[in-house]
Chain A
Amino acid sequence: MSMSQQLKYPFSVGTRKAAQKLARDLRRLISFVESGTNTYIIEAAEKRVLAALDQSEIPLVHTGEPGDMLIYPTARLIVEKIGDPRLREYQAEAESKAVNKHLGKEKEDFVTNLCQSAFGWHVESTGTIRERAKLPIQLRTFEFKLRYEDFLEVAPEFHQSPWKLINRYVDKGWVPVQRLELNRLVSGKFKLLILHSTLDVPTLPQRLTEAVQRVETDLRGKIRTTKPVKITGGVVSAFPPCISNMHDDATQGKNLSHEARFALASFLLKIGMSQEEVLGVFKAAPDFVRGLAEYQVKHIASKAAGEGYTPPGCSKLQGNSLCPVYLGTAKDPLCKYVQHPLAFYQTRAWEVSKGIDNHSWYATKKRKRQSF
């Protein structure tokens, strides 16, 4: 792997080894970047974090110095020192997007080697174009196959229907994937690595501290300008667990899948929130583009004859892994008695308005509609 490739893929074995050669642990990293001319690393790392926060492209600094390898670890250090999950989410999203873009320009062998060496994935080629030409047209487009255990490390994060295992041509444990999908899985895995890693950052010396403070100021400004509108407590407390999760994720700036956004937006519109208020909920999203979001929310609100789209029902949400009760991560006694989030909301909002918090009446007055 060339040095410029090492810089593009911070999670690769080569890059990690090169970085560790310069600075074995966090303390050595800190003292290395703080000394002499190495401080350019801090500057570049700060720019890298700010770019992530602005959702612009991650700049690739290649001065030819070995210290270049430490820009990414230093950027991670700055983010972990601040410890804001939203900032980490922005960083993970931007870093993973950059990797996805770089991967698009690599040769096939390079990507499969990267999967194997960095993540221990089992990836194989499905043959040359000529060999694949004998296959039925639907199966012809998959250049690679990946073990299902490895596929499932990342694919459930994507939510959309083609990523579901049931919609793949799974053959004896191998999942055929297209080149672009494999790129997406690799960059998605990198995103997860960032989101799930935690560093115990010690007290930092001056230059790093200054960089941290500048990023923090920028982050605060950003959070203020995109502060989501608050829905009144009464309304939010009547949300079903699914919508409540999506709403929390959206306002915390987590990246929601297309289906989750649609479900949340259509639900909020149906219960009477204005388009402007709904937009406010999505403002914190890492890839928020005002014009596009406005168009989409307007479209959901105004489908034929001004009625608007109805949010998906329970079974659809379950199929898309968006029902936390079905997934076993949340519970609400009312869920068994409804088949649609709006039905849940109607009942619960009434209970909230009457101050009823004993739900035992469901069993006698309502019919069970689903079991978990």
Chain B
Amino acid sequence: MPRRAQETKFLQLTFQDHYRSNPENIDIPAKVHAREFGMESWAYTWRCIERNERNESGSTIRKGCGRSGNSFIRISKCPNCGSSDIHVNNWTRHHGFRTGEALVKELAMSAPHSVYHSAAFYKVPVARHMDEKEWQGAELVFDIDADHLNSPCADEHDTWRCNNPECDETGSGRSPTTGCPKCKGMSFSSRKWICDKCLDDAKKTLLKVYDDFLVHDLGINPELIQLNYSGHRGYHIRVRDPKVYKLGSNARVEIVHFITGMGFDSTKAVIIDGSIPRVSPRSFPGWAGKTAHAMVEFIKNIDTYLGTEQWVKRLKKNRTAAIKGLQREPPIITTVPGIGVKSWQEIAAKSTMAFGGEIDVPVTHDIHRIIRLIGSLNGKTGFLVSELTRDETDDFDPFGDALAFDEGALKLRVTGGQVKVPRFRIGDDAYGPYGDEVVELPMSAAVFLLCKGVATIE
């Protein structure tokens, strides 16, 4: 359901209040003058396209009125002339700030839905075209998004709606891959929710990428790594080591593959020694030393593997023996009869892919990417984009520690409908599930539902 103007205006004022009273929350990125900023605003700007067209009889007619304006709701027709040929936008990029104070001042004034800045440093960050900006280098960034992790809880709290206007069927879980059960259409809108389970999965991935790959394998100084909660479905990592700034996109792809386990040549990790197949010992550096561990994890979860290779059955049958052998040092794989070295190599390749850290790939290798400003508010939830140290991360609670609004309460009409607004937790209290009902909620919970677009102010 699209948000109404009244609620949008309320959220903007609430955000504005927050930025005015808490300017110290904003983390000013290093070399702020060299960054490009992007803003997602609450209001949409629209522009009606004016053009001359010839009609069937050959005479020229004018279409559109050329006017432009702002609107708090997303419009699909020009409010002036009714033309549907309009441009609507709530994004602006290429902003620049000379100082941190200027940035904070702008936030207190415009209180946008979301604020982003480039991981890159530019000579001319405000130039309209990338090649005019003169790229000087970029931090190495990683985005871990619960949406990419396929956590099973998505089936409990995500919902979908069929985009066929005559059908409008809704359901819970992920949108059906085999088509709408009612009209067989393949186009759906989905509402993604968050819960402790999927954010916990995201946190586990964050710590794996940080501990195992960045600090342990790549030897990056922990003091030069900044972590934060995104304010919605995930976590970010920024490597602020000048040595990585110069890395081009191709080099970053290699780091992505290293972390995700992609392109691993398992024929070097599972070899024939004499006539016995062997897996690299754990003492080996890099992925070779992780192979045995990755295989153990893969075999433990073999029931969820959908492949139909011959070895799947044998592995399922001899699961315990296989795991036991692989857990020895050096690992042994001769405990499972009937699986040859080629199959073991295939298993190793599948295992490394599954074992790698799931990250949102293009974010890392796009050297012009923008990323959320730490200390800003996330307009999808009203939560704070919160900076974390490695130690704080273990106990960090997104639904408690990232809350920005602790005063007051608000009466809302929740529009949960049949699929209902799923149960959620704010601080120590749980709310919902809600159908269509009026509730009074503490401010953080109320802002959360308004940001999610599932309630109106009563």
Which B residues are within 8 Å of any A CB, using their own CB?
Answer: 177, 185-187, 216-220, 243-244, 246-251, 253-255, 257-258, 261-265, 268, 280-281, 283-288, 361-362, 365-366
> Does the CB pair B220–A173 fall under 8 Å?
yes
> Does the CB pair B261–A166 fall under 8 Å?
yes
Determine the distance from Cα of A136 to Cα of B271 in the docked complex, in whole angstroms: 14
Which A residues are within 8 Å of any B CB, using their own CB?
Answer: 136, 138-139, 147-149, 152-153, 155-157, 161-162, 164-174, 318-321, 326-329, 363-368, 372
Chain A residues whose CB sits within 8 angstroms of the CB of B186 once the complex forms? 363-367
Chain A residues whose CB sits within 8 angstroms of the CB of B220 once the complex forms? 173
> Does the CB pair A326–B361 fall under 8 Å?
yes
Nearest A-chain residue to B241, judged by Cβ: A149
Determine the distance from Cα of A363 to Cα of B179 in the docked complex, in whole angstroms: 10
Q: List, sorted by A's number, 7 A–B pairs whose CB atoms are closer than 8 Å.
A: A138-B280, A166-B261, A169-B284, A321-B254, A328-B365, A329-B249, A367-B177
Select one of B258, B281, B283 contacting A165, CB under 8 A: B258
> Does the CB pair A152–B257 fall under 8 Å?
no
Chain B residues whose CB sits within 8 angstroms of the CB of A328 once the complex forms? 249, 362, 365-366
Give min CB distance, B253 to chain A, whole Å. Answer: 6
* Tally of contacts, chain A with chain B, CB under 8 A: 112
Give me 20 other A-B pairs in contact (C-beta within 8 A), A149-B246, A157-B250 excluded: A138-B268, A139-B284, A149-B247, A149-B251, A153-B251, A164-B263, A164-B265, A165-B255, A166-B262, A167-B287, A169-B285, A170-B218, A171-B217, A172-B285, A174-B219, A321-B250, A321-B257, A327-B249, A328-B365, A363-B187
> Does the CB pair B250–A166 fall under 8 Å?
no
Pick the most buried of A148, A318, A368: most chain B CB atoms within 10 A of its CB.
A148
Determine the distance from Cα of A320 to Cα of B257 in the docked complex, in whole angstroms: 10
> Does the CB pair B249–A155 fall under 8 Å?
no
Contacts A166-B257, A169-B288, A320-B263 given: A372-B362 contact, CB under 8 Å? yes
Determine the distance from Cα of A319 to Cα of B263 in the docked complex, in whole angstroms: 4
> Does the CB pair A171–B250 fall under 8 Å?
no
> Does the CB pair A173–B219 fall under 8 Å?
yes
Give min CB distance, B145 to chain A, whole Å. Answer: 12
Nearest B-chain residue to A329, judged by Cβ: B249
Chain A residues whose CB sits within 8 angstroms of the CB of B218 once the complex forms? 148, 170, 172-173
Give min CB distance, A64 to chain B, whole Å. Answer: 39
Determine the distance from Cα of A162 to Cα of B264 in the docked complex, in whole angstroms: 9
Chain A residues whose CB sits within 8 angstroms of the CB of B261 once the complex forms? 166
Select one of B187, B262, B265 contacting A318, CB under 8 A: B262
Pick the most buried of A164, A165, A363, A372: most chain B CB atoms within 10 A of its CB.
A165
> Does the CB pair A172–B262 fall under 8 Å?
no
Chain A residues whose CB sits within 8 angstroms of the CB of B258 once the complex forms? 165-166, 170
Select one of B219, B247, B253, B362 contacting A172, CB under 8 A: B219
Give min CB distance, A308 to chain B, whole Å. Answer: 23
Nearest A-chain residue to B140, judged by Cβ: A149
Chain A residues whose CB sits within 8 angstroms of the CB of B251 once the complex forms? 149, 152-153, 156
Chain A residues whose CB sits within 8 angstroms of the CB of B362 once the complex forms? 328, 372
Determine the distance from Cα of A8 to Cα of B265 in the docked complex, in whole angstroms: 36
Determine the distance from Cα of A280 to Cα of B361 in the docked complex, in whole angstroms: 36
Determine the distance from Cα of A161 to Cα of B288 in the docked complex, in whole angstroms: 14
